[in-house]
Amino acid sequence: MLDQLTDIQKTGNVCEFSSLGQDVKELLKASVKAQELAYTPYSKFNVGAALRCDDGTVYTGCNVENASYGLGICAERTAIVKAVSEGKQKYNAIAVSASFHDDLFVTPCGACRQVISEFSVDRDIVIYLTKPALKKVFVTSVKQLLPLSFSSLHINNHT
């Protein structure tokens, strides 16, 4: 677990919630609200996400589990699926909230990193990780968390 402290330093910055701009604060608060709606009868591990589109709209998501465990969906992907299905495909930031201890943060799983990176071919997407208390925020990005990701560029330019 302590390894994460070194990884955090390598992949982003931890800052105080109070030092962030109003729009980021709102995004983080939306992720905390979404966390409260998580459907997690199996893991009891609640996660909330809030995705900011280029037009300023925010789509929230929570994890939704299932008795058939593999069918559960993470909060980040719920938010992205909601946004795409409402016609939004350009995102500049996603905030994720989950409870965790000390100075450590819950980080998006590999599948979610890949799905976020699907929409970052022409840009980077900022990722804010926080906890319900909204004290500290780990600021990173999808390109920092998933360098050299497989993307449409590979499919469209293969030899």
> Catalytic positions, please?
76
Instruction: Return the number of other C-beta atoms located less than 10 Å from residue 24's C-beta.
Output: 19
Interaction of residue 150 with ligand THU, rule CB under 6 A: no
Interaction of residue 32 with ligand THU, rule CB under 6 A: no
Interaction of residue 109 with ligand THU, rule CB under 6 A: yes
Interaction of residue 13 with ligand THU, rule CB under 6 A: no
Whose CA is closest to 120, among 93, 95, 99, 140? 93
Cα 99 → chain centroid: 14
Query: Which region, judged by CB under 6 A, interacts with ligand THU, from 12-20, 70-78, 84-92, 145-153?
Result: 70-78
Rounded Cα–Cα distance for residues 118 and 112 (Å):
10
* Identified binder of ligand THU from the candidate list 75, 94, 95, 137, rule CB under 6 A: 75
Rounded Cα–Cα distance for residues 10 and 109 (Å):
18
Query: Which region, judged by CB under 6 A, interacts with ligand THU, from 50-58, 80-88, 103-111, 143-151?
Result: 103-111
Cα radius of gyration rounded to whole Å, the chain:
15
Chain residues in the site for ligand THU (CB under 6 A)? 40, 43, 45, 47, 63, 65, 72, 74-76, 106, 108-109, 112
